[in-house]
A and B are shown apart, each in its own frame.
Chain A
């Protein structure tokens, strides 16, 4: 039998305590001379002897319980006959995988993991080479294979747990890659020190398996499953164009424990000012969505946070996000002047006020071609034959990054249109189709995955519009047909053109060729089309560990970036569009320092890390070692398991502790009975 923590054997000195108490109590018995001992002896000594026996039994129980507790703390383990002493066939390669994910920040787990890793390094035998990897969602080689225990301990010392989620498969892949790279001939093993969260491994997606000559041992530092509640997600529109936030801001709160939590307070803060508070009581394992709406935002970037006031694992109680309130851009609707074709379109785009544009309607003849460049969006609503200068201006506008929506109609002449906008239009217009009175076609073949049709995805009401006139056409290369009519003709086509983007609808957005403006689908459809073209994809927050783009300023200079801890970050890698890629490594607000002012980017941890539920280690081992128990117990014939491994597998301390508790319970009962017996004589 060996001990992992032999210094706890000093605790055996505590065994002297009950013995001393026993002896002291014995010496307290006064010696008295007595002549009639003859009669005392005649009294049935059963009572006395029984109590003496009970006292001795109590002493024995106390000593034994203490002994078991001490032994449990020493973490004993037994080396089997197979362990050991046989010589290795080659040098042993050991990879120590140290979990540095966010959950390891809980209750000193990472310190314990480092201690266990140090012990593993210390147990390395002569010639054994050890590599040290930390892992979370990915892995990092802290030290390649070396036999230098001092260097390994030095490398271990400064490590600390991060904020990332856990991915055990990635960690094992990293370990395997390191072993393969080392090309060792001897036994190979991977020692994984972790809290073994269930969230770190999805058994249903497991595809990786360690090599057959690699043994895996798990060293668990997780302890008991701690109760925890967390804010796991916030769904919000990152950028709006009005003062009031009218959408629903959804906050996801989870109770990861098996007990009810609450009441707990959920604070919603904007720019560090609490806007609203909610009291929550969460049922066991409940995931709840709490909605906030109707709050005002200041112009520019707003730092928002949802804070769960709960006395548990702190890092996942706060969730950060940004809400930007931006000024609307200018958009121009060009139609055939005086015909009123844009009445419905203008009315629909003006409704709600949440669009990123303000709209101006002009007839094609009244538009100054030079003024086109001053807009962000142009809508050609059955504009008819556009003057050459205008069409040229619109084409340049699109190619330089402008957004264009084109709607066909009775005024649209395919030949002139194709010649005027052929460079940017996604479709080459063909013949116009006008159905007989009473015949209509509906929109079918809708590409529901496209953002324009997000709002129709559940309702599916778009085909309700009746169309009786449209223009057939041939999509050009690179164009994407988003919807078709029943006869298969493209209805809505999208394509990029230069730096811009164009949407073309082959029917009218007015009443000329369809009753679409009279259907409930009209307003959301046109708004979505405009929003799709006009809105930037601004995320309210970013997941920690994922890269996101930081735009440069007007002069193309990237901002200086301060991390939530206040540290100034070096400039990241510039992307193709002149943006800088930033990977958040700590939760909170990253401050983006532009010359014109500051903006912010919110980074949050993965909400799964707050769930401390444990994975099934047997299943885990079986999945990564092919279910062969030998592969995880004693892979190499000459390999010797480390004490940590053997102890982690045997867990002798656990039954010892249980036995000690049982003994103490028995001692308590016996002591009580003895006391009662004495009281009643």
Chain B
């Protein structure tokens, strides 16, 4: 594909060493977010990511998710006759009801944080965290829809502003992509409060995929995670960060940092505060990871320069692990 060739050319030109994104043979396996950003349609992007991703896998992880027969049971008065096994009745004259696994097709709800901090891009004109979240959410939605899961969307900043209930019907994905594309960053982060609200709104158990930069106290988040878990949801957390947020690598001697959400300004000397900042961010991530582990929440840290299918693989690996 043209973007894969382009990626290869760029890497070689820059003299970068072969990283995890490259196979032993030298051809790239994963999709570069910068290249994906050139694709205007989220639907097209999601399809390209997922199909390309799936074609690259050796063994399909979807077997465990198909609709399948579970057991027979004795017919009781009041049972729905649609599920009566007429063939068995014909052969044996006995009334049995065919029982299927009703939850095989899960309800997947994507929670996308649209707070002001998600509008951050480390490089000028680069990919914002929200944009990356949109790509990731679209890819995940497409992947879920492909396996017949109902997909829902919740966008939240200071409060929930977008809610598309999870459905599995024709045309619903268009709605998802459309509402997903319309998300814009703004406002302050009220992550834990929004999660509590989501927990109240989602009446049916399902898989909740949370994409956020998690700028909230891990303690408060723990309450929100417990709330969702209490409602029976499986929770997957994608912790989205920009590379610059992680490394805090500025060349300037002095910077005037302006908060993305509050517009508060703080003069800093990057060379002085960098180590302290990284220590605190690492501590925060670790605290977040522990909070997630304690509440059986799948946690994945993703930076916006990571290929999308890397996140998908991580997601599917965890889902497969849960299914076994």
A interface residue numbers (CB < 8 A to B) = 25, 28-44, 47-48, 51-52, 678, 681
One digit per residue, 1 when the CB lies within 8 angstroms of any chain A CB and 0 when it does not, for chain B 284-311 equals 1000000000000000000000000000
> Provided the pairs A36-B215, A42-B280 are in contact, do residues A48 and B259 lie with their beta carbons within 8 angstroms?
no
Contacts of B271 in A (CB 8 A): 678, 681
**B261-290 interface with A by 8 A CB criterion:** 261-262, 264-269, 271-273, 275-277, 280-281, 284
A34 touches B280 (CB 8 A): no
Closest-by-CB residue of B relative to A38 is B215
A34-B272 in contact (CB<8A): no
Complex Cα distance, B264 from A31, in Å, reads 11
> A43 and B273 in contact (CB under 8 A), knowing A35-B117, A37-B264?
yes
- Once A39-B280, A52-B267 are accepted as A-B contacts, the answer to whether A34 and B273 lie under 8 Å apart by CB is no
Instruction: Establish whether residues A35 and B120, one from each chain, have CB atoms under 8 Å apart when the complex forms.
Output: yes
Q: From residue B43, how far is it (CB to closest CB) to chain A in Å? A: 29
Least CB distance, A676 to chain B, in whole angstroms: 13
Whether A34 pairs with B120 at a CB distance below 8 angstroms is: yes
- Report B129 CB to chain A, min CB distance, Å: 8
A47 B272 Cβ-Cβ under 8 A: yes
- Nearest opposing residue in chain A for B120, CB measure: A35
B260 contacts A32, C-beta separation under 8 Å = no
Q: Which residues of B from 193 to 213 have beta carbons under 8 Å from A?
A: 213
| Min CB gap A494→B, angstroms | 97
* Contact between B258 and A31, CB atoms less than 8 A apart: yes
A51 and B258 contact, CB distance less than 8 A:
no
Are the C-beta atoms of B259 and A39 separated by less than 8 Å?
no
Q: How far is the CA of A32 from the CA of B284 in the complex (A)?
A: 22
Nearest residue (CB) in A for B185 is A35
Q: Chain B residues near A52 (CB, 8 Å)?
A: 267
Chain B 233-266 per-residue mask, 1 if CB under 8 angstroms from chain A, else 0: 0000000001001000010101111111110111
Asked if A34 and B252 sit within 8 Å, CB to CB, the answer is no
Contact assessment for A39 and B120 in the assembled complex, using a CB-CB cutoff below 8 Å:
no
Is the pair A35, B245 in contact by a Cβ cutoff of 8 Å? yes
- Cα A52 to Cα B269 in complex, Å, equals 10
Partner of A30, one of B118, B255, B259, B269: B255
Contact of B252 among A29, A36, A39, A678 (CB under 8 A): A29
Closest partner residue, chain A, to B252 (CB atom): A30
B155 contacts A by Cβ under 8 Å:
no
Assess A36 versus B245: contact at CB under 8 Å? Given A29-B252, A42-B280, A43-B277.
yes
- Interface residues as binary, B212-242 with A (CB distance below 8 Å gives 1, 0 otherwise): 0101000000000000000000000000001
Q: How far is the CB of A55 from chain B (nearest CB, A)?
A: 10
The residues of A that contact B265 with a CB separation of less than 8 Å are 31
Q: Given A28-B254, A40-B277, A48-B273, does the pair A35, B268 have CB atoms closer than 8 Å?
A: no
Task: Find chain B residues with CB under 8 A from A33 CB.
Answer: 120, 257-260
With A36-B277, A47-B269 given, can you name 9 additional A-B contacts, CB distance below 8 Å?
A: A31-B258, A33-B258, A34-B120, A35-B242, A37-B260, A38-B215, A39-B277, A39-B281, A40-B257
Q: Which residues of A contact B245 (CB under 8 A)?
A: 34-36
Cα distance A51–B271 in the bound complex, in angstroms: 13
Residue of A with least CB distance to B260: A35
B116 within 8 A of A: yes
The reply to whether A29 and B116 contact each other, CB–CB distance below 8 Å, is: no
B276 near A37 (CB under 8 angstroms)?
A: no
Decide: A36 and B256 in contact? CB cutoff 8 A: no
Chain B residues closer than 8 Å to A51, beta-carbon distance: 269, 272
In the complex, chain A residues whose CB is within 8 Å of the CB of B268: 40, 48
Q: A47 CA to B242 CA in the complex, in Å? A: 26
Inter-chain CA distance A218–B307, complex, in Å, is: 88
**Contact A43 B252, CB 8 Å, known A32-B258, A38-B215:** no
Q: Given B250, B272, B284, which contacts A39 in the complex, CB threshold below 8 Å? A: B284
Contact of A29 among B118, B213, B267, B280 (CB under 8 A): B267
- Out of B213, B252, B269, B275, name the residue touching A35 (CB < 8 Å): B213
Question: With A and B bound together, what is the CA distance between A158 and B280 in angstroms?
Answer: 80
Q: What are the residues of chain A within 8 A of B117 when measuring CB–CB?
A: 35-36
Cβ-defined contact, A34 with B254, below 8 A: no
A48 contacts B280, C-beta separation under 8 Å? no
B30 to chain A, nearest CB (A): 25
Interface residues of B in 144-200 (CB under 8 A from A): none
B241 — nearest CB in chain A belongs to which residue? Answer: A36
Are B260 and A29 in touch, CB under 8 angstroms? no
Q: Which residues of B contact A41 (CB under 8 A)?
A: 266
The answer for the CA separation of A34 and B246 in the assembled complex, in Å, is 12
Q: Which of B213, B215, B242, B272 contacts A48 (CB 8 A)?
A: B272
In the complex, the chain A residue whose C-beta lies closest to that of B215 is A38
- CA–CA, A293 to B285, complex, Å? 100
Residues of A within 8 A of B118 (CB): 35
> Cα distance A39–B129 when bound, in Å?
18
A37 touches B259 (CB 8 A): yes
Q: Does the CB pair A32–B257 fall under 8 Å?
A: yes
18 A/B residue pairs, CB under 8 Å, sorted by A: A25-B254, A28-B254, A32-B255, A32-B258, A34-B257, A34-B258, A34-B259, A35-B118, A35-B120, A35-B215, A36-B277, A36-B281, A37-B262, A41-B266, A43-B277, A51-B272, A681-B271, A681-B272
Expressed in whole angstroms, the minimum distance between the Cβ of B112 and any Cβ of chain A is 16
CA distance A52 to B116 in the complex (A): 29
Q: Which residues of A contact B260 (CB under 8 A)?
A: 33-35, 37
Chain B residues with Cβ below 8 Å from A28 are 254
A298 to chain B, nearest CB (A): 80
Q: How far does the alpha carbon of A52 sit from the alpha carbon of B265 in the complex, in Å?
A: 15
Measured in the bound complex, the distance between the Cα atoms of B256 and A25 in whole Å is 12
Q: Is the CB of B280 within 8 A of A37?
A: no
Determine the distance from Cα of A71 to Cα of B156 in the docked complex, in whole angstroms.
64
Closest 6 CB pairs of A and B: A35-B117, A43-B276, A29-B254, A37-B259, A35-B260, A39-B280
Q: Are B254 and A44 in contact (CB under 8 A)?
A: no
User: A32, B250: Cβ atoms under 8 Å?
Assistant: yes
Query: What residue of chain A has the Cβ atom nearest to residue B284's Cβ?
Result: A39
Q: Would you call A48 and B269 a contact (CB within 8 A)?
A: yes
Q: Bound state CA distance, A30 and B265, in angstroms?
A: 11
Considering the chains assembled together, what is the distance between the CA atoms of A48 and B277 in angstroms?
13
Given A28-B254, A29-B252, A29-B256: A35 touches B277 (CB 8 Å cut-off): no
Residues of chain B within 8 A of A38, CB atoms compared: 215
* Shortest beta-carbon distance from B200 to chain A in Å: 27
* Neighbouring A residues of B272 by C-beta, 8 Å: 47-48, 51, 678, 681
B267 touching A35 by the CB < 8 A rule? no
- Contact partners of B273 in chain A: CB under 8 A: 40, 43, 47-48
